[in-house]
Structure 1
Amino acid sequence: MESGGKIVMERYELGRLLGKGTFGKVHYARNLESNRSVAIKMLDKEKVLKVGLSEQIRREITTMRLVAHKNIVHLHEVMATRNYIYFVMEYVKGGELFDKIEKSGKLTEAAAHKYFQQLISAVDYCHSRGVYHRDLKPENLLLDENENLKVSDFGLSALSESKRQDGLLHTSCGTPAYVAPEVISKTGYDGAKSDIWSCGVVLFVLVAGYLPFRGSSLMEMYQKIQLGDFRCSSWFSHKLKKLLYKILDPNPSTRISIQKIKESTWFRKGPGETHAVKDRIPRESATTIAAPTLAARHKKNSHEDVKPLTVTNLNAFEIISFSAGFDLSGLFIEKECRKEARFTSDKPASAIISKLEDVAKTLNLRVRKKDNGVVKIQGRKEGRNGVLQFDTQIFEITPFHHLVEMKQTSGDSLEYQKLLEEDIRPTLKDIVWAWHGDDQQHKQV
C-alpha cells in the first residue's frame, strides 16, 4: 500500500514515522529480501507538481546518484507509483549533528576537528564530481552509529552544467546564516567557494555553540556576512582562529581553497592535547546566545529527510523561518516593541514593488525611494514622534520565492504598529504567502 500501510512496492516493510513535511513523510523501513534497514521518503506527486518542484526532485535524484562516499548519505533506489515518489536511502540512526550541539552547548575542538575533516572530505568529493551542495549546515549533517558524519539533503544542490557562460551559479539559495556573501550579492558565485564558506560557519558553530554572524534583523546579519564581521571566542586555539579567518574571507577570490584547508596545520594535526578537555560555555551565555536559536525549530527527529520536506514548506517557507540563526531578534526584543515584520511571497519582485506603491497610494503614504530592492515609504504628516517611515526590502530566495522585510526607521512605534496591523497587512493579502513570527502566522490561503 502506498500510504498508511506496512508494505511498499512489495519490497519494503514500513516502520515508525521519522518525520513529516508539506509534501510527504519519512519512515523507517526494512527491505524484505535483505532485511536491511533503510529510510524511505514518500513524496506526494500531486503536491510536488502543483508547486513546480519536479525539477528540484529530479536534480536531487541525479545528484545523489553521482555521489558515492562514506561521508554522504547513500541513495539506494528511487521508485514511483501513480501517487507517490519513494526515495529509498541509507538509514542513519545517530541523528543530526545539530542535535548534538544543541544538547551539549558546544563541542571540543578535538570533536569538531574530526567532524570537520569528514565534512571536507565529503565536500571535496562532491566538487570533484561537479556537485555543489549549497545548503551545508549542522541540520544537514548526520551521525551514524559510530559517530561518523554523513552529509545529507541535496535538494538545493547544483551541478556544474548549471553554470552560465560566465562560469558562475546565479540562483540565490541556502539558509541565510550559512550563505556566503557572494550568494547574497546575486552577482554570480563559484559553487565550490560558497560551499567552503558554509563549512567555515559550520566549524565555528561546532566549537563556539553559536553563529559567527548575528544580528537583530536579517538585513543586519547580511551586512555582517558581507563584511566578514565576526570574532572568534577566547577558547578557540590560535591555529583554529587562523584557519577560520581564511575560510570566512568575504572575498571569494582570496578565500582559502579546500586543498589549502587540507594543508593547514589545524586540519592536519588538530588542536592538540591542550584542547582535549571540554571548555564549556557558561550556561547563561549558551542560553542567551545559542540554545534558543538552535531550539527554535518545529521538528525534533533523528533522520535527515525531515528537513528536505520542510525546506519547501509553502506555508511559511521554512527554509528561512525555521532555520537556525534566521532571526535572533525574538531572543532580545519583546513582540510589542519589534519594528520589523516579514512575509514570504510567490510573486516576482516587480509585482511586489508595484503592490507596495498601490498600498502607499491607498493609505496616502509617500514612496520616497526605490533602490536595490529597497522601497522607502513615508507618511505625509508629522506624528507623535516625527514623520513615520519604514523601509521594505525584498530578498530573492529562489527565482519564484521572495522574503520581504518591513522595518520602521523613524516615527512613533505605536503608530507604525497600528498602521501595519490595521491597514498594511489587509491590503497586502494578494501578494502575501505567509507572515513570519506571529502566533497566528497570518497565513494567506
Structure 2
Amino acid sequence: MPIYTFSSSIHHENIVETVDLIRDEHGRWCVVMEYCAGGDLFHKTMSVGFSCDEEIHCLFRQLLNGVGFIHSIGVAHRDLKPENIILDGTGRILKITDFGTSAVFRTQWEKEAHKLHGVYGSAPYIAPEEWDEQHEYIPTKVDVWACGVIFFAMLSKSLLWTVAKPSDEHYAAYLKKRETGFTQFLRYPPGPCKVLHSCLDPDPVRRPEIAQLIEGDWVSRIEFCIGAASTGKPTRPVQHTHLMQSSKH
C-alpha cells in the first residue's frame, strides 16, 4: 500500500506511470502500471544494442532527467540498475520503475535534506559509502553513483567491478589509477569521460548532484527524445536513431 501511494503520486515522462491498485482472486494486492513494450535497459544493452553513441547519450540524459525529478521532490530511488529501467514501445523514451527501496529524504515542509543509512540495491551499482555501516550517506549521491555505473555499462556492455569495496580487485585497481587516468574511461570522448569520472568519484562530497550534471557543458548539449503524453512518440525531430528490438529479429 505505501509503495502504491508513493508511486502513484509521481508523474513524469521518464517515470513509469502507476495506474491502479487492485485485488486478485486470491486477495493479493496488485499494482497496475503503464505497459512499456520496449523491454528493459539490460536486454537493450546486452542483446539488442544501440544504433550509435548518440542513442546511448539520449537515453542517459533521459535517465538523469527522471532521477533529477524524483530528487527534486525529495525522493531517492536507491536501486537504479538497467533491469529497473524500461523503454516504451517506440524504444525512444526511457522510464524508471521499481520504487520498492526508495526513500523520502526531504518532505515538502522541510528545507534541509536528511541522510539515510542501510545497504539497498544490487551490488555492482551500490555506492561505496553505503557499505560503511558506521555512517549515514547522502541519498541523492548514491543514485548519481548508480547512474555512472549504468552509463559505463551502456557504453561498454560490461561492469567495472562486482562490488565497490577495496576487497574487490577491480575496484581496488580503479581507486589506484583513477587520479592519474583510468584507462577504461579515457577510451571515450572528453564529455562522457568527464561524466564517468565525476559520477564515480568515491568521495560523495565531491560527487555532483544530478542537477549539476544536467547543467554541465556536455550533458546540457545532449540531444534527447521527448514523447507526447498520449502516444509516447517523439514530439520533436532528432538527428540520431534508435535501434528497435524488431530490427534484431
TM-score (norm 2): 0.75
Residues 321-332 of structure 1: pairs in structure 2 closer than 5 A: none
CA distance in 1, matches of 2:125, 2:211: 21
Corresponding residue number in structure 1 for 2:115: 168
Residues 178-257 of structure 1: pairs in structure 2 closer than 5 A: 178-186=125-133, 187-214=135-162, 219-220=167-168, 224=172, 227=175, 231-233=183-185, 235-257=187-209
The 8 Å contact of residues 213 and 224 in structure 1, kept in 2 or not, is answered as no
Equivalent position to 2:102, from 157, 162, 167: 157
Larger Rg: 1
Matched, 1:76 2:19: yes
CA distance in 1, matches of 2:173, 2:95: 27
The 8 Å contact of residues 106 and 209 in structure 1, kept in 2 or not, is answered as no
Residues 288-299 of structure 1: pairs in structure 2 closer than 5 A: none
The 8 Å contact of residues 75 and 88 in structure 1, kept in 2 or not, is answered as yes
The 8 Å contact of residues 226 and 250 in structure 1, kept in 2 or not, is answered as no
The 8 Å contact of residues 101 and 121 in structure 2, kept in 1 or not, is answered as yes
Equivalent position to 2:61, from 95, 110, 117: 117
Q: How much is the aligned-residue C-alpha RMSD, in angstroms?
A: 3.0
The 8 Å contact of residues 143 and 150 in structure 1, kept in 2 or not, is answered as yes
Name the SS for the 1:117 alignment partner: helix
CA distance in 2, matches of 1:218, 1:135: 21
Compare 167-176 and 72-81 and name the one that shifted more. Answer: 72-81
Unaligned 5+ segments in structure 1 are 1-57, 278-445
Name the SS for the 2:115 alignment partner: coil
Q: CA deviation at 1:112?
A: 1.3
CA distance in 1, matches of 2:171, 2:186: 24
Q: CA deviation at 1:121?
A: 0.8
Unaligned 5+ segments in structure 2 are 224-239, 242-249
* Greater strand fraction, Structure 1 or Structure 2: 1
Q: Over residues 181-205 of structure 1, what are the superposed CA-to-partner deviations in whole Å (9 max), with x where a residue is unaligned?
A: 1111131111111101101111111
Q: Over residues 366-424 of structure 1, what are the superposed CA-to-partner deviations in whole Å (9 max), with x where a residue is unaligned?
A: xxxxxxxxxxxxxxxxxxxxxxxxxxxxxxxxxxxxxxxxxxxxxxxxxxxxxxxxxxx
CA distance in 1, matches of 2:183, 2:63: 23
Name the SS for the 2:21 alignment partner: strand
Equivalent position to 2:87, from 138, 143, 147: 143
CA distance in 1, matches of 2:162, 2:123: 11
Corresponding residue number in structure 2 for 1:363: none
CA distance in 2, matches of 1:105, 1:221: 29
Name the SS for the 1:174 alignment partner: coil
Corresponding residue number in structure 1 for 2:219: 267
Q: CA deviation at 1:62?
A: 3.0
The 8 Å contact of residues 166 and 172 in structure 2, kept in 1 or not, is answered as no
Paired positions, count: 213
Q: 1:184 to 1:89 in 2, by over 3 A?
A: same
TM-score (norm 1): 0.44
CA distance in 1, matches of 2:186, 2:207: 23
